[in-house]
Amino acid sequence: MPQANGDFPKPGELLRQIHDPEDLKGLTPEQLPVLAKEIREYLVASVSRTGGHLGPNLGVVELTIALHRVFDSPEDALVFDTGHQAYVHKLLTGRQDFSKLRQKDGLSGYPSRAESSHDIVENSHASTALSWAYGIASAQRLDKNQNHVVAVIGDGALTGGMAWEALNNIATGDAQKLVIVVNDNGRSYAPTIGGLSNHLNMLRTDPRYEKTLSHVKQALMSAGRPGEAAYETLRSFKRGLKDFLAPQVMFEDLGLKYLGPIDGHNLEQLELTLKQARDFEAPVIVHVRTEKGRGFTPAEQDAADRFHAVGAIHPETGLPVAPSRFGWTSVFAEEMLTLARKNKRLVGVTAAMMAPVGLGPMAKEFPKRVFDVGIAEAHAATMCAGLAFRGYHPVFAVYATFLNRAFDQVLMDIALHQAPVTIVLDRAGATGDDGASHNGMWDLAMLRMIPGIKLAVPRDATTLRKALQKATSDDEGLTVIRYPKGAVPEDYSVIERGSDDVNSSFSLISFAHEDVKSEEDRAQNARIALVALGPLVKIAREAAMQLSEEGNVVEVIDPEWIYPIASDLVAYLGNFDHVITLEDGLLEGGYGSALRDSLSTNLDQKSMPSLSNLGIGSRFWQQQSRDDLWQASNLSVEKVIELVHQGLKS
């Protein structure tokens, strides 16, 4: 990949000529492999600098080229399930500057309507594409619109129940201009599991498939020659095809035409099959076999799928440019394994993200006690209720953004039944660079309304371990633990700590200049409490140090278990003049709002402090760093000091 003076890598010569999908249609068959090679080179060179989803995109290069050559985007709607495989689509639709990929003012890591009319669905939650496609196709049928709708969905996303609900509707046949491309690479974040995976594996490995390909080749060679030999070859091909397609009853019994499996890296075969699907006047499933990470040797050889999404890496070796610091997920993984060794009734549950959420070590040592249910968060939650009914304590580890998909099950199947289930929310709060659909900012407001919930927000490794120990020993209902993305800070010093009872547990966090807390200072100066959750303790401490240097009496308080609101904390805050809450979650309806309600209910007017709440603003935040998002939401040392100064003047 050519580079000049350290500048960001530039696309290859042929790729630079592609400004719109129409430009693809003028390329010769000989140029297409060259284009595919240039795309892969640019992806490796650029994503290795910015980070992003590398493996999924390397696997769909030929498929995306073929889709844009056969269909007419944006008139024909291309809907990418999840969307993390849409980088190639971006390159072919005029977006070839990846220098700020997943950064503020740069390209999103997922499809984005703000970027291009070729992008339809921005939501990067899996298993939704078929419902989108059916809705679009149904609307087009009502309008007598003859354009096509193409849904590209991975075999992993087909483990989600929503996809099968959509298939059930699509099979009615009323959305005639609908093509479903199943991108089958045997992996989502990890090897795909479940009955569908087993079915597709059978198709990939069926020896009749190779025989059928052989018949095709013979037929193509003989088709131009008269005589009985050619006709017999064609008849033989039909018999072989019929034998091979026998296992397709799962799709065909639904009334869906099935084509495949075909080689997803053979452009000629892809275009031929997609044209057949396009011209068929009914919903069609095209089963495409691809290799995730194709063309990048480290990804091809990596069984652990580390290249699904990467940070900055060396493009030659695939090794990280800077080793990752010990992260929250690693602490959880270690402690979960330790607890599992002591408690045989402890089990783990994941929705197709065994390694990303940290259940891999437990699964390796106790494979029968960790359940991967596929991309099916709602099913996972209710399954946990069933496990709890028979005396097990399940720990459902899931990204915070994906718990949104299982709220009804958490409310009605777990909480209503007082099932002893622990939900561990990874990547909670602002995650930043993955954009609007991946920020885990909704949970504190969403879960607040659940009766009986106990929710912890650890601030460091020690409090995470203690929270997990307490949660997994609790047999009286739903417990939730949430922590952010990234590295774990050093443990904070604690001045005082309440009891282990969640109704009285909170910590006073130590910082410099505690000497201002003399009895004389307490009597003469306004008292300020900064109530900070988890990662916001750092900002509160820095603000407290500056405010204390000004002569103010400031205390940093970490509630630790934030729901239910601790009665002892409410009483303690009655001693302060000003209280400011900081949370890495939705400001409206979040923890600060709940604390305000509790203070106003339980304190008399004389004891009621002035209260200001800081949190993430209620909007869909586009890709940017977590620090940028916090700054934009006033989660900063400067804003805390400003609010204190305003309070002192009033």
Q: Which has more confidence, 429 or 650? A: 429
pLDDT in tens, 142-181: 889 999 999 999 888 888 888 888 888 898 877 789 999 9
CA–CA dist 292, 301 (Å, integer): 11
Active-site residue, selected from the candidate residues 292, 465, 470, 485: 292
> What is the average per-residue pLDDT within 602-628?
89
All residues at 6 or more sequence positions from 547 whose CB lies less than 8 Å from its CB, including other chains: 528, 554, 640, 641, 644
Helix (H) or strand (E) holding 182: strand 178-184
Q: Is 292 known to be catalytic? A: yes
How much is the mean pLDDT over the chain?
85
Measured between its terminal Cα atoms, the distance across the chain in Å is: 62
Q: Over 70: is that where the pLDDT of 444 sits?
A: yes
> What is the average per-residue pLDDT within 224-234?
51
Q: Would you state the pLDDT for residue 640? A: 93
> What is the average per-residue pLDDT within 349-364?
93
φ, ψ at 17 (rounded to 5°): -85, -5
CA–CA dist 532, 508 (Å, integer): 10
Q: Would you state the pLDDT for residue 243? A: 46
CA angle 57, 50, 620 (to 5 degrees): 85
> What is the average per-residue pLDDT within 627-643?
91
> What is the average per-residue pLDDT within 465-473?
97
Q: Where are the alpha helices (DSSP H) in 51-120?
A: 55-58, 61-70, 87-91
Q: Would you state the pLDDT for residue 174? A: 78
CA–CA dist 147, 120 (Å, integer): 15
Active-site residue, selected from the candidate residues 41, 377, 555, 560: 377
296 pLDDT tier (thresholds 50, 70, 90):
confident
pTM of the model: 0.81
Q: Which has more confidence, 307 or 304? A: 307
Tokens 């129409």 belong to which residue?
22
Least confident of 270-279, 419-428, 504-513, 557-566: 504-513
Q: Would you state the pLDDT for residue 155? A: 80
> What is the average per-residue pLDDT within 276-303?
84
Q: In this structure, how many other beta carbons lie within 10 angstroms of the beta carbon of residue 590?
A: 26
Sheet holding 527-532, edge to edge: 494-497, 507-509, 553-558, 527-532, 578-586, 610-616
Binding residue numbers: 84, 124-126, 155-157, 185, 296, 377
- 123: exposed, middle or buried (Cβ count in 10 Å: 0-12, 13-18, 19+): middle
Provide the residue ranges of all domains of the chain, joining segments of one domain with +.
15-300, 328-482, 494-649
Q: Would you state the pLDDT for residue 1? A: 37
> What is the average per-residue pLDDT within 438-456?
93
Q: Which residues pair with 311 in a beta bridge?
A: none
Candidate CATH numbers 3.30.2130.30, 3.40.50.970, 3.40.50.12640, 3.50.50.60; the one for domain 328-482 = 3.40.50.970
3 pLDDT tier (thresholds 50, 70, 90):
very low
Q: Would you state the pLDDT for residue 502? A: 73
Least confident of 344-353, 495-504, 626-635, 637-646: 495-504
Q: Would you state the pLDDT for residue 435? A: 76
pLDDT in tens, 112-149: 899 999 999 987 788 889 999 999 999 999 889 999 99
- 202: exposed, middle or buried (Cβ count in 10 Å: 0-12, 13-18, 19+): exposed
Binding residue numbers for Mg(2+): 155, 185
188 pLDDT tier (thresholds 50, 70, 90):
low
User: What's the chain's length in residues?
Assistant: 650
Would 328-482 and 494-649 be classified into the same CATH topology? yes
Q: Would you state the pLDDT for residue 245? A: 47
5 pLDDT tier (thresholds 50, 70, 90):
very low
Q: Would you state the pLDDT for residue 2? A: 37
Active-site residue, selected from the candidate residues 187, 289, 294, 405: 405
Q: Over 60: is that where the pLDDT of 102 sits?
A: yes
Class for domain 15-300, per CATH?
Answer: alpha beta
188 closest CA partner among 311, 309, 278? 309
Q: Would you state the pLDDT for residue 520? A: 53
Q: Over 80: is that where the pLDDT of 20 sits?
A: yes
Q: Would you state the pLDDT for residue 110? A: 85
pLDDT in tens, 516-545: 444 555 445 679 999 999 999 999 999 999
Q: Would you state the pLDDT for residue 311? A: 74
How far, in Å, are 330, 359, 377 from residue 186 at the CA level? 26, 20, 20
246 pLDDT tier (thresholds 50, 70, 90):
very low
433 pLDDT tier (thresholds 50, 70, 90):
confident
475, 581 Cβ separation under 8 angstroms:
no
Q: Is 405 known to be catalytic? A: yes
Binding residue numbers for thiamine diphosphate: 84, 124-126, 156-157, 185, 296, 377
Q: Which has more confidence, 60 or 3? A: 60
The type of residue at 67 is L
435: left (phi over 0), alpha (psi -120 to 50) or beta: left
630 pLDDT tier (thresholds 50, 70, 90):
confident
Q: Over 90: is that where the pLDDT of 415 sits?
A: yes
Three-state SS for 319? coil
Q: Over 60: is that where the pLDDT of 77 sits?
A: yes
80 closest CA partner among 116, 32, 120? 120
Q: What percent of the chain has pLDDT over 70?
A: 85
Q: If one looks up domain 494-649 in CATH, what number appears?
A: 3.40.50.920
